[in-house]
Structure 1
Amino acid sequence: MTGTLPVDAEDLLRELAPQVLGTLVRRFGDFDTAEDALQEAMLAAATQWPTGGLPDNPRGWLIQVAQRRMADVVRAEVARRRRETTVFERDVRDAEAVDRDDTLAMFFLCCHPALSCASAIALTLRAVGGLTTGEIAHAFLLPETTMAQRISRAKKRLSTLDRPFAQPDNAEWRERLGAVLHVLYLIFSEGHTTTSGPKLHRADLSTEAIRLTRSIHRLLPEDTEVTGLLALMLLTDARHAARTGAHGELIPLAEQNRALWDRAAIAEGVTLTTDTLAGGLTGPYQLQAAIAVLHAEALRPEDTDWPRILLLYTMIERMAPNPMVTLNRAVATAMVHGPAAGLALTDTLDDQLAGNHRLDAVRGHLYEMAGDLDAAIVSYTAAAGRTTSTPERDYLTIRAARLRREPAAH
């Protein structure tokens, strides 16, 4: 009878899994078989390590066990096709197994430009995050068969590429790293505020995004955008306990009990953001982290440094134009220059955000600030009708109902 794998050993296996998978895929070029071999190696570790103890080189141990499985598969395939087994067998030095970390290569592979964003997210969660296909399907409210097909198509697409693990040049490196960070940001965003369903927050997704971003940060600690993204996630996630009430209802930032914010996460996020400032403010994630710091450091809503936040949003918009950034700048503009100025800025977004509930929600907020309750009710009601998130819909509906009971502004 085998013992139970210690929690720290389980964490180690989870950390090593993408590294081992990356090594297998790079050497053998077969994603599906590599995943099967990895699972067998992980099972062997879970069975043998509790009684035999951790090997001196756990990563090398997993690679060797998985490689033996891959070699068996290759031999069987070669035999079936009557080819020489020596074409496929690879005698790998132990030093290579120890020294090369393929985690970053796995991120780059899963976020290859040849894949759609949806496929990249699914494949990253499956191959690097270690989530099951069922868990990923549940996270994005899709049937498991649909998600399995999406992941399978992504793997097949990668298998058609010429040298998908080839070292990118400097321009390609930045593009691929940008794609990786974008995928992680999207995973976190979906976890922090789910786009549909009964819950506002999906802790499994936001926690996984933070874990994966930490792994990138360990590999690239000097990259200010990697550091900025990790800081942004920590500072944003620090507020999650205060974002919902006893019944799961949404509580906006200005009404949150800030004593519930996670001060340890905030301290780490502030430190990380500060560490990026030596070279100036140079990237959108770094700038967003700086905005999150200003929100986190305000002990009361009225203490928020809105002029500086407005300046930072203006910088982001110049650096990486995006309608959602402009919408956030509209809110900051209203807080600094009044709701009329903010509403004027939202008018520039009618084409880009047509049908997006967030545009109507922001307008409702700004009309309410301006005292135009009738217009606020119309905007809140429109936003409630367009969102697929139950907590957001309920909040917007209640907001409109409360305004209907208030006396009209004169």
Structure 2
Amino acid sequence: MTQACREPREASLSVDTALEQALRDEWGRIVALLVAHFRRLDLAEDALADAFEAAARTWPETGVPANPAGWLLTTSRRRALDRLRSERVLARSMPLLEVEADLAQDAQRVLVDPGDELRDERLRLVLLCTHPRLSREAAAALTLRLVLGVPTPEVARLFLQSPATMAARLTRARKKLAGERLGVPSGSDLTDRVARVADVAYLAFTAGYAPGTGPDVVRADLAGEAIRLVRALRSLLPYDDPELDALQALMLLQHARRAARVSGDRLVLLPDQDRSLWRQEEIGEALTLLAPLAVGAPAPYLLQALIAAEHAIAASAEDTAWDRIVARYDELLTLGDSPVVRLNRAVALAEARGPEAGLDALAGLAVPGHRLPAVRAQLLARTGDHAGARTAYDTAIALCANEVELAVLREQRAALGA
């Protein structure tokens, strides 16, 4: 292939890489600045999307600009101004040349040396997207779209909805926020809102690891975006938040196992996972985050992270410190009774003291869905009560609506014989 033939493809790859990086790193920053300037979520998002489309058309010919973020900010603000003019909203008092000069100056000053101004605007945007007026699911979707720049069709895929349904849901969420003030609350109000952001991030994270079907047995990309949101929030807050640090550690510990969670289109349970596939650099980062927190007061994310850490540092399932895990679950229950925590504690107790102890802990427990009878079936099988185990498996199979988990349950049921 001649040099002349190679150059266009190399330029294209360079532009694609630059656009990908800008979408990932700059979307939330630029949206925050546009919302701060124009006070309209829809205008900010549409204008920036137009700017990315313009970049995809022009950069292959003109080359990637020295400051891609500045180019995108300038172009998106021009697009927003054009739309406002067409809507007859823009005040006529500011001369066009002055507007253009202001755009160029802002693009260079704020994006090259952002300082506290940009940090504050991004924090306002994060907090706005998780406003109490929105459901947790809507807040999670809107945060992924506006703060992290995940395209609407991808958000739809991550939440197992059609693009049209997700687009309508995002539109409703934006309308609910119309007229809301972009601000950073103080004191306990800020603490409460940050806790909501954390809950939304963990909701998105757990949705990523809720077993799906086909190529989406797990959706590690959604979990990765949730981790990125918590990283961003930790960098934006004007103070240290131990529970956010613990949440980051918890998600990293669970995310580190992503390559071992699936084999083909099959789900691999924790005891059967190939631990050599676990990402040790992420485990190390999580353990570093946890080290100064472990001596602090018990808190939900911290205790869950400490439980995940016990699994991460064990050489095998058999070497896991199950007694320490049971103790952590006991601490969690002192913070708030939860059937799911009691179910997980029963599993750990069965590993620490035998299946009979686990079955005793399940007595009287009520948890919707298939997981409780599935756990009971496994423990009954370990005691040798295969008839009782088969009955419990039948109950779990009847309640399970997920094809991936159904396959696991049927295999376990078949292993017991007729």
Question: Retained in 2: the 8 A contact 1:357–1:382?
Answer: yes
Percent identity reads 38
Hey, what's the Cα distance between the residues in 2 that align with 1:379 and 1:312? 28
Q: CA deviation at 1:32?
A: 1.5
Matched, 1:241 2:251: no
Task: List aligned pairs for 1:1-400, cutoff 5 A.
Answer: 4-5=14-15, 7=17, 10-46=20-56, 47-48=58-59, 51=63, 53-55=65-67, 59-78=69-88, 84-86=91-93, 94=106, 98-99=114-115, 100-101=118-119, 102-161=121-180, 163=181, 165-194=182-211, 199-220=216-237, 222-245=240-263, 247-277=264-294, 280-350=296-366, 353-354=367-368, 356-400=369-413
Any conservation in 1 of the 2:19–2:52 contact (CA below 8 Å)? no
Show structure 2 runs of 5+ residues with no match.
1-7
Cα distance change, pair 107–384 in 1 and its aligned pair in 2 (3 A) = farther
- Name 1:408's counterpart in structure 2: none
Distance 1:321 1:86 in 2: 61
Q: 1:26 to 1:363 in 2, by over 3 A?
A: farther
CA–CA distance in structure 1, aligned partners of residues 144 and 59 of structure 2:
27
For 1:61 and 1:53, locate their aligned partners in 2 and report how far apart those are by CA, in whole Å: 7
Q: Which residue of structure 1 lines up, in the alignment, with residue 3 of structure 2? A: none
Q: CA deviation at 1:136?
A: 2.0
SS of 1:343's partner is helix
The Cα offsets for residues 103-143 of structure 1, whole Å up to 9 and x where unpaired, read as 33222111111101121122122112322222222222222
d(CA) in 1 for partners of 2:215, 2:406? 10
**What TM-score, normalized to structure 2?**
0.84
**Number of aligned residue pairs:** 393
AA partner of residue 203 (structure 2): L
Partners of 1:213 and 1:230 within 8 A in 2: yes
Please give the per-residue CA displacement for 1:237-267, whole angstroms capped at 9, x wherever unaligned. 222222233x422222122222222222222
**How far apart, in 2, do the equivalents of 1:52 and 1:300 lie?**
49
Report the Cα offset of residue 394 of structure 1. 0.3
Measured in 1, the distance between the counterparts of 2:372 and 2:92 equals: 61
Q: Which amino acid aligns with 1:109?
A: L
1:30 maps to a residue whose letter is R
What's the C-alpha RMSD, in Å, of the aligned pairs?
2.8
Alpha-carbon distance change, 170 to 243 in structure 1, aligned in 2, over 3 angstroms: same
Pairwise CA distance, 1:395: 0.2
Structure 1 gaps, min length 5: 406-410
TM-score by length of 1: 0.86
